[in-house]
Structure 1
């Protein structure tokens, strides 16, 4: 049976084009409404399965007003609008739509977005309980803990892994986003094929297209040989785009095309290459804010945000700290070939009381360091910053922004390393990040790059 769709759009040409696209794709259009009043009448008479909803309509009420009514009716909807300012975006988000398309768009974009919206709606109703999940009672390697917040993450991983949809992993730095990406791949139908990890923040802007999509020999000065890009390397597998919020807008356009068309074109080439790649992206930024401030494309955000997984900060799952600590203790004692097998009760209490601004990554590095320093079989004490020695930093009576604190932290590291960025004893090593990532952050934060 054809799904019935109501179009709520006050521009006749746009509404008619939508109708033609939908009918061609096999949907039944139950009517076109140019106002909320007309829409209410048609909903009562025709009982559509979905509503395509513009924001600015005829009359005093907007599409957002109607969206709240649709929520009450449990009638799924998605927005189609050219209005993407921050205020509107915040109001749209509050209504929990199943999709948002930006005008103008192509027919293919509309049909794909409807498929995505239906997937999200079905998943919300629990329609994926029948998916092939041989992993129901299976632990996921490297994801440690029993807290309710973590169990919710694990359940989402098991639900989405067998599907083909894109996944967006959200969370603070150090919460384990890459580990979750690997878990999704390992439990997917693509597990026998590669997962290719790309740190978007570490890609030089001038080489992003070449890195992601490859280039032909002679495509530009210095292109002395054919280069296969990350997407081709990940064909029939998974590509993990870490720090996706760092991609510049022109690269976002190319990524959107890959998502829509499932094809790439190497730099300097004229051949279209079909690819079958599962995309998992991650960010520690608020992409809604990035969209509102014009740094991230709204259509790309909704295309990636089909199945979001929010990772909790470590301080929100303190009941997992002991299990994580013992897991890392066993791991690093074995790799260092040291007989360190326990953490004292007082040392464990230190870990439980600390707020972990660096999350799991900070805990892991702390355990690794103390295993190496341990002189007995037990770690008796940790050297952790106390609340008194690590106050909330303020400027003129106001809390510093994350960017200000990050800039200060990097500058202190550079000062400690006498301005050296990369190599042994450099700031990148001290901060435990790739040198290219550090250079990228320095450029973004306005830190002069006159270093080694």
Structure 2
């Protein structure tokens, strides 16, 4: 049975273009609606399976008003937009759409968005999935955990289902979450669940690339393109041809690079420095620990690029919200590193367990892994009797004190950690290890936050 699609769009050329795309793909297209009233009439008469919905419509009622009705009727919808207004975007996002399609429409984007929306809607309608069935589906994964991700948390089980849904498609994926939550593991899982799993999986840390060479690193360069370009070099996108490229910390891309990255998303075309444009066959997965909508509002991230990336967002919860995973992960990493060190360590004392469960884990799973590695090295008996985490939490402001911004708190936390390490950034006991983040990421944040080097108790500015 053909899926019935309602297009709600007040510009005929745009609506007709969509209709032709859907007709060719075998969908049943309901007569186009250009106003809220027409759309309501079509909903009642034709009962569509999915709606493609423009945000701006003729008349006083908008697509956002219609979206609220669609949500109550459990009809999935995808926004059609060329909007660049942050408030409008926030209002649209709050209605929980199944995606955004940016004008002008490309056939592959439209069809991919529809496929993902339909499958995701079916999962949500069925409700919480059968966890026993899900675990059985992935029994062949190493360690017995789905996608090699150690967890017992229901929110993570839902992420596994999202991986299964989006993996086989070609759509871009945006993975959101704090540093150390496992964004690269999720990206790798999506790659493995795709038809590209025999191709390369290329990881790029955008936050670690200096602005002066980022274009060359991503897109390559020709011999003699700039001083020091002694030979032709392929970029990361070419290295990922036929596979997947994972752009970690995509929120760190400078404005000029964002424009060129947008071209890759739209046209699958790159232009090496000093060379001619060429096409690449690559699937793009991006990740960030930043709130990109806030970055858009501050003018640091392009809204059109955000729309392109945000087709299928996956939010990974922090470890402090996954209480069931704390001791599961602790025991997993304890055994892993004890085996590597050829030590027999059977578990944790009651006091250590209590301390670990009360700790907030600001560095998330990466901090847990690093801490367990250090714990194994420092533990002499068969039971861990000390919680070896380092820096104390920042003081929580009282009602009488000014509440610091997120950036100020981040800066203070990094400075406090550097002081605790006597300025040591990397290596065992270094700030990067204590914070549970990559050294390159920490160096990038130190530079951006204007933190001076700290040596033997000297204060940063």
**Match in the other structure for 2:35:** 35
- Determine the C-alpha separation between the residues in 2 that align with 1:39 and 1:219: 55
Relative to the length of structure 2, the TM-score reads 0.82
Contact 2:30-2:48 at 8 Å conserved across structures: yes
Which has the larger displacement, 352-361 or 284-293? 284-293
- Determine the C-alpha separation between the residues in 2 that align with 1:244 and 1:216: 25
**Match in the other structure for 1:407:** 411
Contact 2:201-2:244 at 8 Å conserved across structures: yes
Decide which of 201, 207, 219 is 1:201's aligned counterpart. 207
Contact 1:101-1:299 at 8 Å conserved across structures: no
RMSD value, Cα: 3.5
Decide whether aligned partners of structure 1 residues 439 and 69 sit closer, same or farther in structure 2, where only a CA change above 3 A counts: same
Decide which of 212, 218, 223 is 2:218's aligned counterpart. 212
Which has the larger displacement, 427-436 or 66-75? 427-436
Contact 1:23-1:29 at 8 Å conserved across structures: no
Q: List aligned pairs for 1:16-415, cutoff 5 A.
A: 16-20=13-17, 22-23=19-20, 26=23, 30-45=30-45, 50-102=50-102, 105-108=103-106, 112-126=109-123, 135-138=137-140, 139-140=145-146, 142-275=148-281, 277-384=282-389, 390-393=394-397, 397-415=401-419
Which has the larger displacement, 334-343 or 219-228? 334-343
Contact 2:391-2:416 at 8 Å conserved across structures: no
Matched, 1:444 2:444: no
Deviation of 1:404 (Å): 0.9
Contact 1:162-1:188 at 8 Å conserved across structures: yes
- Determine the C-alpha separation between the residues in 1 that align with 2:352 and 2:421: 30
- Determine the C-alpha separation between the residues in 2 that align with 1:9 and 1:335: 61
Contact 2:203-2:248 at 8 Å conserved across structures: yes
**Match in the other structure for 2:458:** none
- Determine the C-alpha separation between the residues in 1 that align with 2:391 and 2:423: 28
Contact 1:166-1:304 at 8 Å conserved across structures: yes
- Determine the C-alpha separation between the residues in 1 that align with 2:252 and 2:96: 26
Contact 1:4-1:48 at 8 Å conserved across structures: yes
Deviation of 1:313 (Å): 1.7
- Determine the C-alpha separation between the residues in 1 that align with 2:349 and 2:424: 38
- Determine the C-alpha separation between the residues in 2 that align with 1:297 and 1:237: 26
Relative to the length of structure 1, the TM-score reads 0.84
Which has the larger displacement, 136-145 or 369-378? 136-145
Deviation of 1:229 (Å): 0.9
- Determine the C-alpha separation between the residues in 2 that align with 1:378 and 1:426: 25
Which has the larger displacement, 185-194 or 317-326? 185-194
- Listed as ranges, the gaps of 5+ residues in structure 2 are 130-134, 456-461
- Determine the C-alpha separation between the residues in 1 that align with 2:54 and 2:166: 30
- Determine the C-alpha separation between the residues in 2 that align with 1:449 and 1:65: 53
Deviation of 1:407 (Å): 1.0
For residues 179-219 of structure 1, give each alpha carbon's deviation from its aligned partner in whole angstroms, at most 9, with x where no partner exists.
Answer: 22223333443333321111111111222221111111112
Query: Is the partner of 2:202 in helix, strand or coil?
Result: strand
- Determine the C-alpha separation between the residues in 2 that align with 1:442 and 1:331: 32
